[in-house]
Amino acid sequence: MILYGLAVSSASYRVRIALALKGLTVTTVCKQLSANEHRLQDYLRINPQGFVPALVLDDGMVLTQSMAIMEYLNEAYPTPPLLPKDLVARARVRAMAQVIACDIHPLNNLRVLRYLEGELLHDKTARDAWYSHWVQAGFAALEGLLSRESGESLCCFGDAPTLADVCLVPQMFNARRFSVNLIAYPRLARIDAHCRELAAFVGAAPERQES
């Protein structure tokens, strides 16, 4: 398998963690954000949408959209599971993942920040306030969801990483990168710190990718 991604892209980072949790070794092609290389013609032949990540399977099939890729990995390589067995628990883990994947990340990715600056002529202050606003709203929701789960588990659900943690850690990374104040989310901070010490998360970290 070949993973096309960007080092700091939350969606790419998620898939790197999921692959590592599954013990899968893939060839990674890490593009440079600054060069905007992933928009280039050769990459558009792999993913016409131009977005990362894309996972090319050994038979040449191309999978796109990080959440779809991770559900695929979880179905194709069931061990260790990234979702609990109980159906309601699965729904709650997916909901936590989607607070990040649907309510935070789409508002703050590069193409949106560029539209705010390029089309709508906002300055860096307004852009950063926008970024912070949606992170804070989403993290407040997630902190609330976690407070409903029983006990003080090591991860978002139980003591082993699920799709929720796989989404959380890259979003926390990018929130720090944009200097978002994270003081109000002690549960998220604790889970993030725990997960970042696990081998799969260490190896997937942006600073460990080839530049």
- Does residue 71 interact with a second copy by CB under 8 A? yes
For residues 60 and 121, give the distance between their C-alpha atoms in angstroms, rounded to a whole number. Answer: 41
Q: Which is nearer to a second copy, 28 or 74 (CB)?
A: 74
The helix/strand/coil state of 122 is coil
- Does residue 118 interact with a second copy by CB under 8 A? no
Q: How far is the CB of 210 from a second copy (least distance, A)?
A: 26
Give the CA distances from residue 131 to residues 17, 71, 138, in Å, rounded to whole numbers and listed in that order: 24, 27, 11
- Signed CA dihedral, 13, 18, 19, 20: sign only: positive
Q: Which is nearer to a second copy, 33 or 120 (CB)?
A: 120
Q: In what order do the strands lie in the sheet with 62-64?
A: 27-31, 2-6, 54-56, 62-64
Q: Which is nearer to a second copy, 22 or 198 (CB)?
A: 22
Q: How far is the CB of 68 from a second copy (least distance, A)?
A: 4
For residues 24 and 44, give the distance between their C-alpha atoms in angstroms, rounded to a whole number. Answer: 25
Indicate which single residue of 24, 33, 68, 193 sits in contact with a second copy (rule: CB under 8 A).
Answer: 68
Q: In the numeric block, which tokens belong to residue 7?
A: 């080092």
Site residues, a second copy (CB under 8 A): 48-49, 51, 57, 61, 63-65, 67-69, 71-72, 75-76, 87-88, 90-92, 94-95, 97-99, 101-103, 105-107, 111-112, 115, 119-120, 122, 126, 129-130, 133, 137, 141, 144-145
